[in-house]
Amino acid sequence: MEKGSMFSQVLRTTDPKMIGRMYLVTSLTFFMVGGVMALLMRAELARPGLEFLSLEQFNQLFTMHGTVMLLFFATPIVFAFANLVLPLQIGAPDVAFPRLNAFSYWLYLFGAVTAMSGFLVPGGAADAGWTMYTPLSNAVNSPGVGTDLWIFGLGLSGLGTILGAVNMVSTVITMRAPGMTMFRMPIFTWNILVTSLLILLVFPILTAALLVLWVDRHLGAKVFDADNGGAMLWQHLFWFFGHPEVYIIAVPFFGIITEVIPVFSRKPLFGYKGMVLATFSISALSMTVWAHHMFVTGA
């Protein structure tokens, strides 16, 4: 292999297996970064009054740890397994939109790097908490560039996630091998389909809320102003995304376990259609119960 050819291949690839490995390596790297942040916070809490970290640094680590673990590790690792396994399971030679698949990865990577680059700017990274509740995240209480980088970074990576979901839905619907009917698909493929549909329903809500938050901060729109109930509006929008996000992370791993157990027990899966129906039901219900994150607000 010529010098630099591997780097060139990574930059230009549209191969789903290569992109899957890139998702896997990148997400695990962010997992370790998030783990280091957790260790720093635990070190600060090891003893009262230690002051290993300043108040501002602790808030920044808390905010970015939650963001990294949820959106830069747990969500993209789903696409790692989807790219590596799903085309093989349905007999597809590739995903439906190979270039869009690569574009999704690069949006995720650059979005994550943008959000993390807040640590390099004056004032530090975003520090209003990973839920970015208003008015904590407005221009008065979080005036730093770090919060703007967080908003922009999550918008970029969220767009990458949405485009990746479009690709997976299209692949499952249109790229199955002859004879591979919907109810012959492996459970993992079903679960990626359901997860992708969930992403298409809830990630645009987060992206729109982030855009409005940016407009609030820089153009004074006052959409999320606490005086007119805007703080509650942010919580509704965030948790309408946030609770299904739990299942966006969990459902693919339900599918992995459901594939592994029948193989190693040497028994066919019991209740295949019931499992598919249960997965759809879980995901549908996950979009109706976000208010339990808001009980303490009295809303």
Taking residue 194's Cβ as centre, other Cβ atoms within 10 Å add up to 23
State the Cα–Cα distance between residues 168 and 252, nearest whole angstrom: 13
Taking residue 211's Cβ as centre, other Cβ atoms within 10 Å add up to 13
CA atoms within 13 A on the CB side of 115: 29
Class of domain 5-297: mainly alpha
Residue-level pLDDT at 190? 98
C-alpha distance across the termini of the chain, in Å = 61
State the Cα–Cα distance between residues 75 and 199, nearest whole angstrom: 10
Residue-level pLDDT at 62? 98
Mind spelling out the 3-state secondary structure of the chain?
CCCCHHHHHHHHCCCHHHHHHHHHHHHHHHHHHHHHHHHHHHHHCCCCCCCCCCHHHHHHHHHHHHHHHHHHHHCHHHHHHHHHHHHHHCCCCCCCCHHHHHHHHHHHHHHHHHHHHHHHCCCCECCCCCCCCCCCCCCCCCCCHHHHHHHHHHHHHHHHHHHHHHHHHHHHHHCCCCCCCHHHCCHHHHHHHHHHHHHHHHHHHHHHHHHHHHHHHHHCCCCCCHHHCHHHHHHHHHHHHHHHHHHHHHHHHHHHHHHHHHHHHCCCCCCHHHHHHHHHHHHHHHCCCHHHHHHHHCC
Residue-level pLDDT at 2? 61
State the Cα–Cα distance between residues 54 and 140, nearest whole angstrom: 21
Residue with tokens 């703080």: 231
- pLDDT tens-digit profile of 179-189? 999 999 999 99
Q: In which residue ranges of the chain is pLDDT below 70?
A: 1-4, 299
Structure tokens given for 44: 């600060």
Residue-level pLDDT at 299? 65
Q: What are the sequence ranges of the domains in the chain?
A: 5-297
Amino acid at 50: L
